[in-house]
Amino acid sequence: MTSSDRRTPARLADQRALLFDLDGVLTPTAEVHMRAWSRLFTPYLAAHGVAPYTEQDYFAYVDGKPRYDGVRSLLHARGIDLPEGTPADDPALDTVCGLGNRKNAEFTAELEEHGVAPYPGSLRFLTAAIDAGYEVAVVSSSANARSVLETAGILDRFEVVVDGAVAREDGLAGKPAPDTYLDAATRFGLTAAQCVVVEDATSGVEAGRNGAFGLVVGVDRGAGADALRAHGADLVVSDLADLLPDLATTVAGAPGTDQPPVDPRKTA
């Protein structure tokens, strides 16, 4: 078995597409989401006399999930049962969808107030991948993905964006189901085995494992390397720039090329 047959960084050179989660992978919007969830649940849980909201609740119950799933998961953990409601619910309503819409309003306020820029290491990795001929997509549970990408100045890098709005419109199950990632691969005409999933959430790496993707990369922004590996990450890094030496210099099948990928570590 060669090194590229194993699920190691060397396998990056054999893949055709990189499918990135957004929040916490390309941009530090996970921090914006964390503040928005805290603004929602800190007063809400206090008013219901249950255990207070903590940062660990974010990683355990809401990180990487569609918004309403996150609301539902955290409420269930606190023993609170609310009517489901509908996506059209007013944010003031005490329903799952109402609370989810309230959280979205908090997120929008945070984003407008503070803005967002890409992680420098992620931007370097993304630029190098595009230059090498990899297909790149964003696969995010957030319905705000396009606005975040636009605010960060990188929307034009991505031909394919499968976000929460697309998932809802097309009836795709959210992470940890692999459906949104599989949809992105299909849009490139590729199989899961030809694509890399890049995630910072346990639900996201689990989606990569469930979809049998060629490689699942975990980016540890707080979930913990052990937790990411336990849920399906083949390898974990703290910064995507760490993987720059493992990218192919030319991707097989990229437009204008008819040569196999080159491993930069094997060239003079």
The pLDDT confidence band at residue 255, using thresholds 50, 70 and 90, is low
Q: What is the pLDDT of residues 228-253, one digit of tens each?
A: 999 999 999 999 999 999 999 888 77
Tokens representing residue 60 in the block: 């355990």
User: Order of strands across the sheet with 215-219?
Assistant: 160-162, 135-139, 17-20, 195-199, 215-219, 235-237
| Residue 142: pLDDT band with limits 50, 70, 90 | confident
To the question of pTM greater than 0.85 for the whole model, the response is no
- pLDDT value of residue 256: 52
Q: Which of 5, 14, 21, 163 is catalytic?
A: 21
Look up 220 and say whether it is catalytic.
Answer: no
DSSP assignment of 176-212 equals: TSSHHHHHHHHHTT--GGGEEEEESSHHHHHHHHHTT
Confidence of residue 257 (pLDDT cuts 50, 70, 90): low
Mean pLDDT lowest for which of 20-24, 65-69, 224-228, 245-249?
A: 65-69
pLDDT digits (tens, 9 = 90+) for 200-226: 999 999 999 999 999 999 999 988 999
Catalytic option among 5, 14, 23, 81: 23
Annotated catalytic residue 23: yes
Going from the C-alpha of 71 to that of each of 11, 41, 104, 108, the distances in angstroms are 37, 9, 11, 17
pLDDT digits (tens, 9 = 90+) for 157-192: 999 999 999 999 999 999 999 999 999 999 999 999
Has residue 101 got a pLDDT over 90? yes
